[in-house]
């Protein structure tokens, strides 16, 4: 029997701002069964998927991408030497530019990736969304670049309240007045730096489309959902698959305009008049991606097939009316688990090896508020 395919997946935390890794892994296990082995790439010893039973076969700590390409590559090659990685599926936006730089060296080592081009990554950035909207013939909410408090005041005067304030890479807040705008500016700029973006708030139904592109403009699979439960961060805590030709057509035009290669998520909003607005393009699968497998169009499976050089047939059919509600439970670990991770940078399914390392002083786990808004 041939050896199982070894796939390394990052983005392993399921908190209020859930990451895609667990949903991708569940999808792949359904598609490939025992023919796949999953290695988790964790950035934090408290990434919740490390302690979810039956999810990972092996897991390693990796340094944050900010360490630079050399250190990041060295760590991936160390892991590769231990478990022979066939494919890496990155799940965080910040990983993509780094893996793009390392793609050649990883390929020479036998590690595959299936990544968007550098040009496509730049073209979907929030600051360039109006340009993308023009190319794809889709409306984009009016957006202003905010470099200081004066620019924030000018944007608020032009766009009015409520006002959406966004960091360039992650996070956004809806400000309903000057005090909330000032608070959002202070918090987001402190975490993510300047500039920020101020965007006109539009009332309507929120839709997301997860898809896989082949890099030529063809969309090999897409699943659309409507958000039904939204956290205070604007993340979908619950959603239902829909068959909306207009929503899917807009998402396909966006992906075709970018000539997108690999997984992505197109966030759209349909206002009360029926006009569809492009809100964001995320360069990876969303946290809700397991919904695609549950609805009968397993997009992570298609990504793996493409990465292996296969050409899966286009799949436009999936079951509608399939919904999810995110279910948060306690993932249980022990101090011994954390000792293994901190001491060895690894958590395997086997019992941790005994050693003479000194005991690890552990920080308390961060509090994760859950503040949800039902719509």
Asked if residue 76 lies in contact with residue 108, where contact means CB atoms within 8 angstroms, the answer is no
Higher pLDDT, 359 or 16: 16
Give dist(CA 4, CA 70) in Å, integer.
29
pTM: 0.89
Q: Binning pLDDT at 50, 70 and 90, where does residue 27 land?
A: very high
Q: Indicate left, alpha or beta for 60 from its phi (over 0: left) and psi (-120 to 50: alpha).
A: beta
Q: Which of 279-283, 309-313, 323-327 has the lowest mean pLDDT?
A: 309-313
Please indicate whether residue 348 or residue 227 has the higher confidence score (pLDDT). Answer: 227
Per-domain residue ranges of the chain: 142-200, 203-325
Q: Judge whether residue 367 has pLDDT over 50.
A: no
Residue 87 contacts residue 111 (beta carbons within 8 Å): yes
| Residues in contact with 144: Cβ distance below 8 Å, sequence separation at least 6, in sequence order | 151, 154, 155, 158, 159, 197, 198, 199
Q: Which residues pair with 39 in a beta bridge?
A: 8, 58
Q: Indicate the class that CATH gives domain 203-325.
A: alpha beta
- Kindly report the average pLDDT of the chain as a whole number: 91
Q: Predicted confidence band at 218 (pLDDT cuts at 50, 70, 90)? A: very high
d(CA 12, CA 61): 11
pLDDT, position 233: 72
Question: What pLDDT, in 10s, does the model give residues 104-159?
Answer: 999 999 999 999 999 999 999 998 999 999 999 999 999 999 999 999 999 999 99
pLDDT tens figures, 150-195: 999 999 999 999 999 999 877 889 999 999 999 999 999 999 899 9
- Write the pLDDT tens digit of every residue in 232-260: 777 889 999 999 999 999 999 999 999 99
Model confidence at 363, pLDDT cuts 50, 70, 90, reads very low
pLDDT for residue 314? 86
User: 349 falls in which pLDDT band (50, 70, 90)?
Assistant: low
Answer for the pair 214, 276: CB distance below 8 angstroms, yes or no. Answer: no
Provide the 10 A C-beta neighbour count for residue 194: 14
* Cα separation, 99 vs 107, whole angstroms: 11
Residues 196-234 as b/e (b if ≥16 CB within 10 A, e otherwise) read bbbbbebeebbbbbbbbbbbeeebbbbbbbbbbbbbeeb
The superfamily (CATH) of domain 142-200 is ATP-grasp fold, A domain (3.30.1490.20)
With 80 as the cut, is the pLDDT of residue 219 above it? yes
pLDDT category at 359 given cuts 50, 70, 90 is very low
Residue 266 vs residues 169, 280, 289, 342: alpha-carbon distances, Å: 15, 6, 13, 37
- Return the structure tokens found at 52: 């979810």
User: Would you place residue 16 in the very low, low, confident or very high pLDDT band (cuts 50, 70, 90)?
Assistant: confident
**Per-residue pLDDT, 306:** 96
The Cα–Cα gap between 201 and 143 comes to 10
What is the mean predicted confidence (pLDDT) over 81-95? 96
Average pLDDT rounded to a whole number, residues 319-328: 95
Cβ burial of 62 (10 Å; 0-12, 13-18, 19+) is: buried
């Amino acid at each position: 029997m041939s050896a199982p395919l070894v796939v390394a997946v990052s983005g392993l935390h399921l908190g209020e701002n859930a990451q895609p890794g667990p949903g991708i892994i569940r999808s792949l296990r359904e598609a490939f069964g025992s023919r796949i082995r999953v290695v988790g790439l964790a950035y934090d010893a408290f990434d919740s998927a490390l302690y979810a039973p039956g999810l990972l076969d092996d897991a390693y700590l990796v340094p944050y991408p900010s360490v630079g390409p050399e250190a990041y590559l060295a760590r991936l090659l160390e892991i590769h030497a231990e478990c022979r990685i066939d494919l890496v599926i990155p799940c965080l936006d910040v990983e993509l530019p780094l893996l793009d730089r390392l793609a050649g060296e990883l390929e020479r080592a036998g590690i595959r990736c299936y990544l968007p081009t550098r040009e496509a990554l730049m073209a979907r950035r929030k600051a360039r969304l109006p340009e993308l909207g023009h190319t794809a013939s889709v409306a984009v909410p009016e957006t202003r670049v905010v470099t200081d408090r004066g620019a924030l005041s000018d944007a608020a005067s032009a766009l009015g309240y409520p006002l959406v304030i966004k960091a360039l890479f992650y996070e956004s807040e809806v400000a309903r007045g000057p005090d909330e705008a000032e608070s959002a500016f202070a918090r987001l700029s402190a975490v993510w730096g300047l500039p920020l973006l101020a965007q006109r708030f539009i009332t309507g139904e929120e839709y997301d489309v997860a898809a896989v592109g082949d890099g030529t403009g063809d969309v090999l699979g897409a699943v659309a959902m409507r958000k039904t439960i939204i956290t205070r961060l604007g993340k979908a805590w619950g959603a239902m698959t829909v068959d909306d030709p207009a929503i899917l057509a807009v998402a396909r035009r966006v992906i075709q305009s970018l000539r997108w290669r690999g997984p992505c998520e197109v966030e759209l909003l349909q206002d009360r008049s029926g006009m569809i607005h492009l809100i964001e393009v995320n360069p990876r699968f969303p946290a809700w991606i397991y919904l695609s497998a549950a609805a009968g169009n397993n997009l992570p499976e298609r990504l793996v097939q493409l990465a292996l050089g296969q050409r899966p047939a286009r799949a436009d059919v999936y079951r509608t009316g399939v919904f999810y509600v995110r279910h948060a439970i306690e993932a249980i670990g022990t101090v011994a688990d954390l000792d293994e991770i901190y001491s060895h940078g690894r958590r395997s399914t086997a019992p941790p090896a005994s050693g003479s390392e000194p005991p690890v002083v552990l920080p308390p786990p961060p509090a994760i508020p859950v503040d949800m808004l039902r719509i």
